[in-house]
Amino acid sequence: MEIKELRNNIDRIDSELTKLFQERMETAAQIAKFKQENNMPVFNRERERDVINKVTANVSPEFEGYTKTLYETLFNLSRSYQKKLINPTSPVSKMIEDVTNHTPCLRPERAMVACQGVEGAYSQLACDKMFAFPTIFYCRGFEDVFKAVDGGFCRYGVLPVENSTAGTVNKVYDLMEKYKFYITHSLKLFIRHSILAPEGVEMSDIKEIFSHEQAINQCSEFLNTLGVKVTVCENTAVAAKMVAESGRKDCASIGSKDGAALYGLKVLKTGIQNTDNNYTRFICISKTPEIYPGAKKTSFMMTIPHEPGSLYNILSRFAALGLNMTKLESRPIPGSNFEFMFYFDIDASVYSENLKALFSELENDAEKFIYLGSYTED
């Protein structure tokens, strides 16, 4: 056969498949109605297993695996559609709708904002980019930022959550869960690290370098070439301030050029990070949700049952609804055996009906579902 004839044959088969698929989904809708009226769960593992055994028995061994995959996909689409019909809205969807209707059109330019560290910290640089006229309240640790917002002293907090080299700052996500706060905005800040030292100190004099753990990880390749002692500090700006006030002539810090100017240090070497594509993502948090026009990024956390196929069933919802997932990360839940918390970021308009449908499905299936916010990212 010629290729054109073969493709015509494929087109004919696709046309038949499309009609049959629509008929199958319409029948699934009727089943959803019956299940709802009779208080039956959407998911029936035994029924799905029986169907797969039946259909794979009627194909050649060569196509058994492909047939199983096809029907597992059909089951996921069917479950997704049934759940959408049974639960068209969810508590999170209703909350998002209410918040979007009551949030002002523009983010405030002036606000009291909590940041971890001291003047010259990267969090301060991120804060100055997020707000035109911030009043910054500096905190010792990440949780102190949350406490400042929780106590009403600050309206917002700015914190790092992820670096392109060193990865996720899990402590911040843990605190988001603990305090039940929300993300209102995020920013990717290019991080260019430098070696900062007092006047008169040269690279050959340095025996100890101070900095934040994340900065140390981001500059690990350069540090390995020095063979000096590396000491972890609360913040890069704190490290710079400490070096400036130490009176020592054998130490330096890793930080920004802004930090050097601020604390009277000189830049011995710049661009020492492992990669030139070194970005840290900062989030702006608040005690109450705020969703501003144009929000097209949504974050949430969830735990799922510890059983085969649980994660696959969750991920299949994204594909079925055409939603683009930009982050998926997991970490063990302290004190549990093989239980994990999953972090998700989705690129989708907050007004998307498919996003609402996803929430309706996940809230009903997840053991724990935590909505973190819908926002814009610069």
In sequence order, the 6+-apart residues with CB closer than 8 A to the CB of 348 are: 296, 297, 298, 323, 324, 354, 355
Q: Which CATH class is domain 3-86?
A: mainly alpha
In sequence order, the 6+-apart residues with CB closer than 8 A to the CB of 116 are: 123, 138, 139, 140, 141, 142, 144, 145, 159, 234, 235
What fold is seen in the domain 91-101+293-377?
Alpha-Beta Plaits (3.30.70)
Task: Name the segment(s) of the chain with CATH classification 1.20.59.10.
Answer: 3-86
pLDDT at residue 162 tops 80: yes
Token code pair at residue 181 = 């706060």
3-state secondary structure of 254: strand
Residue-level length of the chain: 378
CATH superfamily of 108-191+279-286: Periplasmic binding protein-like II (3.40.190.10)
What per-residue confidence (pLDDT) applies to 281? 95
* Structure confidence by residue, pLDDT tens digits, 69-114: 898 888 888 887 887 787 777 888 889 989 999 999 999 999 999 9
pLDDT at residue 20 tops 90: yes
What per-residue confidence (pLDDT) applies to 339? 76
Q: Among 10-19, 153-162, 259-268, whose mean pLDDT is lowest?
A: 259-268
| Cα 312 to Cα 21: distance, rounded to the nearest angstrom | 22
pLDDT at residue 335 tops 70: no
Task: Name the segment(s) of the chain with CATH classification 3.40.190.10.
Answer: 108-191+279-286, 194-256+264-270
Architecture in CATH of 194-256+264-270: 3-Layer(aba) Sandwich (3.40)
| Cα 228 to Cα 272: distance, rounded to the nearest angstrom | 15
Token code pair at residue 274 = 């492992």
> Which residue's structure tokens are 């930090």?
259
Token code pair at residue 308 = 């085969």
Q: Categorize the per-residue pLDDT at 37 as very low, low, confident or very high, splitting at 50, 70 and 90.
A: confident
What does the DSSP 8-state code read for residue 344? E
Percent of the chain as helix, strand, coil, to the nearest 5:
45, 25, 30
Beta carbons within 10 angstroms of residue 270's beta carbon: 14
What per-residue confidence (pLDDT) applies to 338? 67
3-state secondary structure of 98: helix
| Cα 235 to Cα 82: distance, rounded to the nearest angstrom | 50
Burial (Cβ within 10 Å: 0-12, 13-18, ≥19) of residue 44: middle
Q: What angle do CA 202, 203, 204 make, to 5 degrees?
A: 90
What per-residue confidence (pLDDT) applies to 197? 93
Q: What angle do CA 166, 168, 169 make, to 5 degrees?
A: 100
Pair type for strands 251-255 and 194-197: antiparallel
* Structure confidence by residue, pLDDT tens digits, 178-194: 999 999 999 999 989 99
Instruction: Find the mean pLDDT for residues 112-137.
Output: 93
Tell me the pTM.
0.81
Backbone angles phi, psi at 377, to 5 degrees: -130, 130
Task: Name the segment(s) of the chain with CATH classification 3.30.70.260.
Answer: 91-101+293-377
What per-residue confidence (pLDDT) applies to 56? 92
Residue 228: how many CA atoms within 13 Å on its side-chain side? 21
More confident residue, 336 or 282: 282
